[in-house]
Structure 1
Amino acid sequence: MDPNRAGPVVLDTLSKACSQQADVLKPAEQQLHHWETQPGFYSILATIFCKHEIDVNVRWLAALYCKNGVERYWRKTAPNAMSEEEKSAIRKQLLSNFNEPVPQVALQVAVLVAKVARVDCPRNWPELIPTMLEAVRCDDQLIQERALLVLHHVTKTLASRRLPSDKKVFESLTHEVFGFILNLWNSNLAHFLQLASVHDEGMSTALDRCSLVLKILRKQIGYGFRDLETHPDSVSFLRSLFPHLEAMLDCRRSLWGHHAIVDKCEHVIVTQTKVLLDILEMHASSFVSFLKTTLEFVVRYNFTEKGLLFERFAVNCFNVMKAILFSDTYKLSKNTQIESSSAVSTEAQKILTEFFTFDTLSEICRRLVTQYFLLTTDDLTTWDADPEDFCQDEGGDSYKYSLRPCTEVLFLTIFKAFRLSLTPVLLELVRFIQAPCDPEDFATVLKKDAVYNAIGLAAFDLFDEIDFDQWYTTSLLQELQVKDVNYRIVRKRVIWLVGQWVGVKMSVSLRPSLYEAIISLLDKQEDLAVRLEAAACLKTTIDDFEFKTDQLLPYVEPLFHLLFELLKEVRECDTKMHVLHVFSFVIERMGREIRPYTAALVEYLPLLWQESSHHNMLRCSILTTLIHLVQSFGSACTNFYDFLIPVIELSTDITQDPHVYLMEDGLDLWLITLHYSPTVTENLLKLFTNIPPVLDLGTENLRVCLKLIEAYLLLCPQEFMQLYSSILAVSLSSMITNLQTDGQLLVLRVIELVFKVFPTEGPQVFSCFLPAMWKNLVDDEDSTPVISLYLCLFARILLQHRDFLWSFLEKTASDTSKSFNQLLSLLLDTWLDKIDSVTQPDRRKVIAMAVASLLTTNSSTMLERFPTIINLCVEVLHDVCRPGDLQSQIDMVFFSSLVITDDEIVEVESREELEHDKRKRMLARKDPVHTVSLKDYVMSQLKQCQQAHGQAVFGRLMDQVDPDILSQLQQFSV
């Protein structure tokens, strides 16, 4: 684009893009989108937003488009990357625009500068830092403010880079400017405090400058120094941090009523506490001298009568204390090798020991439990208005931002660190509130809830201190029976408490009474939050190692009914997911015993599936539930094929958007359905068309897809191969060349299964793959697991379809300079040389049988290798016979017969097993490995060899065999 000619056109288009009229706006946006890849477009945008006389909306939009363009096209490797000339022009414009009068445009420009700096600074943009620092030191307040804004965003960007050279750049920037920025912080904060003391109107602007400067200091002190102690400015900043925090907290109190200023004041205070958190994370060793001051500050403002000042401040203070107690730097280590580190740990432990006296610990523990654990008015209002939202579990990193999980994490950290001191304090709190209280005494109800919360959180640490069985039977069960509306708080907390202790220290004999209590709490007349907690307790109970099916069985019917009613009643997807998880656990643990009680659930799931069309995570939970239902119903799962098959089809269809979320669970459901299905249906067979596209996506789902193919081969081999044999051969043959060893083995096992199921047709189906397999087999000198499987596949072809192998060798001979006999010799030598790489006894037996089958051929190849053939057969005979009992004449693998006898068939059929396992067993009954005795087969082949060649020739052949091998062979012939 020519700036002189295209500039006015771009400006006019931007003006139209700011229009409120759709017929003007949309064409303008389309034109701007068309220009995004045009050379010169972004330099024109930079010229536009730097001209302050242009309308502010147009300039803001120009800066926004330019920022997005830099994100996409600035890097040299990007498609349609900007030219160096255009980038140079944009950089010059940016350096000349530190006097932007409009804050909104200034913010966009600052972010734009940071994005360019991330790629170009300092190598391709050495002018940025000197120009920026000069502007920061300027006496003009507007220029300085805009430069500080740019410096803030550049600082954030450069601090995030982790390469050593990038760290050096940021450290250099920090050392050059930190002292000046610190002076700005001190002077601006003093100015704000002075204005705040008289409630001057300029407070807001002054506070904004304080906040901006503090954000720069936070990143620079965190990432710009290797050792804080060696830099006086950084130490000075840390020393002044606590007086400044106290001054800001006092100022916040005095400004009560100025809501906007108070909010900004709180923002600055929170940023100051974030500085402490950053230093503890990145410079813990340098912070030891400030530990006592920090802990005193946290205790003074959070565990005294000053109480909870505001939530975000308390959260950060609690996280500061947790970080100190949790820090590995401050813990004494038996394996400390670095002397300085050991000195830091020793000093830190001394400070912590002196500070955390029993009185201090006791006060912190009591206030955490009786003040911060208490349900607030807002909590109770949420409970009444939206109990499902109230019951949402805050997990993950919520302790970093939310007061309740933060308080609980701090309590656990302190309790684990000082368990011996705090256990008596906690037990004393329990004694005061252990007995049922008056439901009208709301304060006591809330305190009981808080103390029980603490006992549940510390369950593992209180194992030896509390007789939970006695407490449960004498007190907790009684409290669950108090049905007053106020007492719902206690009922919910008690059943949660039991869930915390059930896997820690609760006798199995008490489980029936717990199931009865859960049934009572799941009743529709009960509070919804209590019902949800009871469902969660049930899940925890049945997920325990000591769970016993027979104990739950008498209660399954009412539990299932009540859970189903709860599932229908709740509205939030997350809540439905939690209830479905409980269903899944019950179904999984009860197995087939659950069948009589699932009719209503099976009828409801299709409706729930339809309702959750926009909630894929809930659909994942439905898929999980279906998996457990299919496992429980076994072969009767065909009763809900009408729902199962469409669900599987949608979940595994890559043309449908939900497949991104549902694919993994959908494939698992598909596989388990095939494993349990007694027969195949047309729709179930058609599902296979989803597999090839899934395989084309990559190897993420390769294993389960191949298992699905195996399941189809066993379930409906004729129908499956008739429809999909060509697709299967092409997919597997093309795929195997791009896989690592593990993936190749998975594919080859599928091909091996095809050869087992179709001894004659199987090799023909994969005839396109055999040349590559042959080449790898004869060319590879190493003995890898893949080569071992190649050996077995060719052995099966020889054993089960010799004519096909002969024709293959003849065709290969015509394509090469070698004869048929040479290729046969090469194949036989490969078997003989690499048999030791085959470790599975059944595969060794296949190779031995294939090699032994050549004894009856009138071939010079066999005659020349007769002794080696006999040697291999005897070696494998030892592998598949019972060690030390050659007279048994039974092919064994680890004392388990390879030859399946009638007695074993009866024994297996008397046990319950998957339909899939039955099909595998039926296939094994047709496999030569399991139907032919290797000893009998070898002896029969030797006898036929003797008849074919005559006694004289046969005698000379036997004379070539090692006498020791002959002796062993004779033992097998007895």
Structure 2
Amino acid sequence: MMDATIVGTVLDALTRASSQNTAVLKPAEQQLKSWETQPGFYTVLQTIFSNHALDDNVRWLAVVYFKNGIDRYWRKSAPNAIAEAEKVKIRGQLITNFQEPVGPIATQLAVLIGKVARVDCPRNWPELIPTLLTAIRKAGHLEQQRALLTYHHVIKTLAGKRLAPDKKLFQELTENTFSLLLELWNAHLDEFIHHAQMKDHHNMTILLELSTLALKVLRKQLVYGMLEPDKNASAMMLIELVFQRIRPILEIRGELSSTNGLREKLEKKVLLLMKTLLDTQDTFPLSYVSFIGRSLELSVTYIFTEAGRGLLFERFIVFNMNLIKSIVKCDYCRVSKVMENSKDLVAYDAQKAKNEFFTDSTLWEMCHRLLSQYFLLTQEDLEMWESDPEGFTIDEGGESWKFTLRPCTEVLFLAMFHAYREVFTKVLLQIVQSVQGVIEPTNMDMLLQKEAVYNAMGLAAFELFDEVNFDQWFTNHLLGELNNKHPRYKVIRRRVIWLIGQWLGVKLSPSLHPTVYQAVLPLLAQDEDLVVRITAAQTLKIAVDDFEFKKDNFLPYLESSFALLFQLLKQVSECDTKMHILHVLSFIIERVEAQIRPYASSLAQYLPVLWEESVEHNMLRCAILSTLVHLVQGLGSLSVELYHFLIPIIKFSTDVSQPPHVYLLDDGIDLWYETIQNAPLMTKELMQLFGNMTPLLELGSENLKTCFQIITAYVLLGPNEFMQSYSCAVYAGCVSLLESVRPEGIVIVLKLVETILKVFPTEGPQIFRQLLPKILQRVLDKEEYPTVMSMYLSVFARIVIKNQSFFFSFLQQYCHTTKQQPDELLSKLLVVWSEKMDWITQAERRKLSALALMALLPSNSSVVVEKFPDVVYAVVEVLHDVCREENGTQVDYLVMGDREDVEDEFETEHDKRKRKLSMKDPVHCTSLRDFCILQFTEFERIHGTPTFTRLMESIDFEIREQLQNFFK
């Protein structure tokens, strides 16, 4: 027998843990936590929550601690797992009776039994299901309810297991128990309807709960425990009964007052019946074909005819609309041209059922009802418009159509329009004509009808492409609608400007885009309704982001639109709305580029204030960072005026020790890159900011490419001061990444190394001296990836051309380390270099390697003499790549003359620095043809004419002839 002292100690701790006094509660919680891994603790908890005489709060807390312990310690593999002997006792005790009197405790018990079942059933707990089924069959309502509740949670967890053996076991369980549950559900529902006729609310509540639990189990078993429900008579009977039961329950609900709690339970019951239909249709569309006609009849009758009057509630309408949409859009029910198998025949039956139901008159009525009833703004919508205009404008998006009436209505309308375009087009265009004339602002019903029709016209823009002359409609009608400034007409002004946005990218002539800009401006003004202003801002974003956008057409409206949007940004208060307006401003800045400079100061002054106000809103801060990226791009070198604000923001956003960095890092790095690109000169603040880079490189995120672009930009911005301070950090970052990244990452690292070698031809090789042996070894091992090999050879080419003394000293040191002969090593390198020239695809890099090989020719080395023909073959190929004949002379087109040193108005400061560096690059300032002539002459001087003549004669005649043509 269990020690009563231990039970008393745990009971005392639980009693204190349920106290409202923090001073008492906290030590008790710590004490209970320390017992979690003690043998026997969960047996004690079970003893306590099984004792109905104890305080309910203490018992509830004991169950919760027990349930949480199952998650942590029940599995055998868990650290401090509960002993198997204790688990056997616990399992036996859990199902000894189902008489728990307290509802919340019973629910927690059912959940924890489900958690144990997920791990142990059926292998280690074969008696669970039989015991539950025995209890479910008993007559007592309490015991049956508790057993059904437990069975529901057990089935719920077992249905979620996805391994093949588990799925097979669940299918067997379904096969053995489905009929029993179906009979039970049906019997309880019959009894419920009988008691409803006598207005016996007490028994109605009990029976409704029992039948609902049974149906929840049936739904899980139907969806997850059957392969082909159409071959199971019980499954088909369930679907048949669902159709029969919906109307009686709706009628019983309609007789209850809105304050009666039973009314809400009945709504949940109806929704569960609808979910059963929806899940079956979605999971088994081919098995559901025989019910298509019944489903459409049910849903369309209720929501599109007078038969549903007084019986409907919003979520029931949503479920019916989703069922219609699901049937209409079902991919499995599309008929192929050639029917090859039984699935095609079933699909044919499905299509036939839909065609028979959706007659022209039915479609006509559905379209009319959608537009005249479900599309209308409700009184609640209009009240929200006035009380919370920003909340009204938020687009719910995502899967809101599954749960909310307005998006659900729009999704159904589009599905029907796409499937039955001909009829829906006729109805819609006919109704448009009927509301097209002038409407008195006092006639609210007609205004709402017009708003609904315009909404439909916007949603169906793509479907109506060939049916509507939008240019004409826009010019002759819609612009006039926008000019009506009556306060009540705002519902039309808002819908019309939204409608124009929907059609902009579909069918509006580019010549009319300036008219759209002109139409938007008055709707952004401060005296306009806030909902209209926010909608107009979204349309302006669509217009500016359009493929046909022309900057020159927008510039006359830039100042006004920017000022009005900025004013709107300051006036709205919701985080989401501010984000939307910032995105519009960002699009405009991105599109007009440098033209934004005269108007950006006001935004630049406001963003620091908004940043401070948005401490709790990381997504708004992301929008601010994104806006700043475009602002810096637009301001160019003038962005230095923002440094007092920009640099602290970049520092905060890219500091991996700051918790918000998980949201802000990507945009923060982009902003850093734009800032350093547009910096005219290095500053102390920019230098200090680089302290954030080392942790970012260690993080190894997908931002590595941008990080290396930032480092490159630093090297070009302030070469000497930057490398004096950070050369060690740069070297360490390169070394660590070369060992861990994929080929594309290696290329990114080596491009930085190459840039440093360009800027520092003397000091650069020394910085990377310890890295070069690894690179050389990979070259000699014939690196597999052509792009990587190209970069490796480019690194050595830069050293050979600009610092040949270092190159040969490096080879000597490498030979000393690897016990090789220098001539042998150089020979291997030249062989690989000649062989892999074809791997180098960029003309600039091919030329770089050719220059390096020619630079080696005059060296006093027997290896170079030996490899002379290989070098010539490789170089002649490159001469063909880079030379063009002009006026009878071969000219190297990669050489930049003064004519190419012309600034581009869209160049960043970084671009200018890169261009200036390129002007000094041997690739762009040395003619390969002239350099070859020079190097051959030098080779002949050093090695003698006989040697030179002999080597040239050893080359193929055709190659010699090509070489002579280049040297003419």
Q: TM-score range by the shorter chain?
A: over 0.9
Partner amino acid for 1:69? Answer: G
CA contact (8 A) 1:42 1:66 kept: yes
- In the alignment, which residue of structure 2 is the partner of 1:116? 116
Answering whether residue 104 of structure 2 is matched by residue 107 of structure 1, we say no
- Aligned in 2, Cα 1:469/1:961: closer, same or farther, shift over 3 Å? closer
- Within 5 Å, which residues of 2 pair with 1:784-823? 784-823=786-825
Distance 1:885 1:3 in 2: 105
Instruction: Kindly provide the CA deviation profile for residues 411-459 of structure 1, in whole angstroms up to 9, marking residues without a partner as x.
Output: 1111111111121111121121111211111111111111111111111
Distance 1:915 1:77 in 2: 60
**Displacement after TM superposition at 1:312 (Å):** 0.4
Distance 2:292 2:450 in 1: 34
- In the alignment, which residue of structure 2 is the partner of 1:256? 257
CA contact (8 A) 2:135 2:143 kept: yes
Answering whether residue 962 of structure 2 is matched by residue 973 of structure 1, we say no
Distance 2:711 2:69 in 1: 47
Partner amino acid for 1:289? Answer: S
- Aligned in 2, Cα 1:5/1:737: closer, same or farther, shift over 3 Å? farther
- In the alignment, which residue of structure 2 is the partner of 1:746? 748
* 2:320 counterpart (317, 320, 337): 317
Distance 1:93 1:648 in 2: 60
CA contact (8 A) 2:435 2:450 kept: yes
Distance 1:401 1:835 in 2: 63
- Aligned in 2, Cα 1:93/1:815: closer, same or farther, shift over 3 Å? farther
- In the alignment, which residue of structure 2 is the partner of 1:902? 898
- Within 5 Å, which residues of 2 pair with 1:590-669? 590-669=592-671
CA contact (8 A) 2:743 2:785 kept: no
Answering whether residue 412 of structure 2 is matched by residue 410 of structure 1, we say yes
- Tell me the secondary structure at the aligned position of residue 937 of structure 2: helix
CA contact (8 A) 2:782 2:832 kept: no
**Displacement after TM superposition at 1:215 (Å):** 1.1
Distance 2:952 2:599 in 1: 70
Partner amino acid for 1:439? Answer: P
Distance 2:736 2:887 in 1: 46
Distance 1:125 1:863 in 2: 84
- Aligned in 2, Cα 1:45/1:808: closer, same or farther, shift over 3 Å? farther
Distance 1:871 1:63 in 2: 84
- Tell me the secondary structure at the aligned position of residue 920 of structure 2: coil
- Aligned in 2, Cα 1:843/1:93: closer, same or farther, shift over 3 Å? farther
**Displacement after TM superposition at 1:541 (Å):** 1.6
**Displacement after TM superposition at 1:781 (Å):** 6.4
- In the alignment, which residue of structure 2 is the partner of 1:357? 359
- Aligned in 2, Cα 1:410/1:782: closer, same or farther, shift over 3 Å? closer
CA contact (8 A) 1:867 1:962 kept: no
CA contact (8 A) 1:886 1:971 kept: no
State which drifts further: 397-406 or 675-684: 675-684
- Aligned in 2, Cα 1:103/1:292: closer, same or farther, shift over 3 Å? same
CA contact (8 A) 1:3 1:40 kept: no
- Within 5 Å, which residues of 2 pair with 1:25-424? 25-96=25-96, 98-200=98-200, 201-257=202-258, 259-305=260-306, 306-307=308-309, 309-334=312-337, 337=340, 339-424=341-426
- Tell me the secondary structure at the aligned position of residue 506 of structure 2: coil
- In the alignment, which residue of structure 1 is the partner of 2:513? 511
**Displacement after TM superposition at 1:771 (Å):** 2.4
- Aligned in 2, Cα 1:561/1:735: closer, same or farther, shift over 3 Å? same
- In the alignment, which residue of structure 1 is the partner of 2:564? 562
- Tell me the secondary structure at the aligned position of residue 503 of structure 1: helix
Answering whether residue 7 of structure 2 is matched by residue 11 of structure 1, we say no
Partner amino acid for 1:214? Answer: L
Distance 1:600 1:138 in 2: 76
Instruction: Kindly provide the CA deviation profile for residues 442-480 of structure 1, in whole angstroms up to 9, marking residues without a partner as x.
Output: 111111111111111111222222222332233222222
**Displacement after TM superposition at 1:348 (Å):** 0.9
Partner amino acid for 2:378? Answer: T
Partner amino acid for 2:897? Answer: T
Distance 2:546 2:919 in 1: 40
- Within 5 Å, which residues of 2 pair with 1:497-576? 497-576=499-578
**Displacement after TM superposition at 1:956 (Å):** 2.8
State which drifts further: 42-51 or 213-222: 42-51
CA contact (8 A) 1:252 1:262 kept: yes
CA contact (8 A) 1:606 1:643 kept: yes
Partner amino acid for 2:320? Answer: C
Partner amino acid for 1:827? Answer: L
Distance 1:143 1:576 in 2: 55
Instruction: Kindly provide the CA deviation profile for residues 360-399 of structure 1, in whole angstroms up to 9, marking residues without a partner as x.
Output: 1111111111001111111111111111111111211000
State which drifts further: 608-617 or 421-430: 421-430
Partner amino acid for 1:256? Answer: S
- Tell me the secondary structure at the aligned position of residue 263 of structure 2: helix
Distance 1:778 1:125 in 2: 64
Distance 1:721 1:416 in 2: 63
RMSD: 2.0
- Aligned in 2, Cα 1:477/1:265: closer, same or farther, shift over 3 Å? same
**TM-score using structure 2 length:** 0.96
* 1:916 counterpart (910, 914, 931): 910
**Displacement after TM superposition at 1:503 (Å):** 2.1
Partner amino acid for 1:64? Answer: V
- Tell me the secondary structure at the aligned position of residue 890 of structure 1: strand
**Displacement after TM superposition at 1:909 (Å):** 2.4
Distance 2:175 2:73 in 1: 33
Instruction: Kindly provide the CA deviation profile for residues 504-543 of structure 1, in whole angstroms up to 9, marking residues without a partner as x.
Output: 2223333333323222122222111111111111112222
- Tell me the secondary structure at the aligned position of residue 891 of structure 2: coil
Distance 1:919 1:87 in 2: 72
**Displacement after TM superposition at 1:12 (Å):** 2.0
Paired residues, number: 964
- Tell me the secondary structure at the aligned position of residue 899 of structure 1: coil
- Aligned in 2, Cα 1:881/1:28: closer, same or farther, shift over 3 Å? same
Instruction: Kindly provide the CA deviation profile for residues 931-952 of structure 1, in whole angstroms up to 9, marking residues without a partner as x.
Output: 2122222222221121112222
Partner amino acid for 1:490? Answer: I
Q: Which runs of 5+ in 2 are unaligned?
A: none
**Displacement after TM superposition at 1:189 (Å):** 0.8
- Tell me the secondary structure at the aligned position of residue 889 of structure 1: strand
Instruction: Kindly provide the CA deviation profile for residues 98-121 of structure 1, in whole angstroms up to 9, marking residues without a partner as x.
Output: 333322112112111222333333
- Tell me the secondary structure at the aligned position of residue 857 of structure 2: helix
- Aligned in 2, Cα 1:569/1:51: closer, same or farther, shift over 3 Å? same
**TM-score using structure 1 length:** 0.96
Distance 1:676 1:788 in 2: 30
- In the alignment, which residue of structure 1 is the partner of 2:493? 491
CA contact (8 A) 2:890 2:967 kept: no
State which drifts further: 536-545 or 34-43: 34-43
- In the alignment, which residue of structure 2 is the partner of 1:894? none
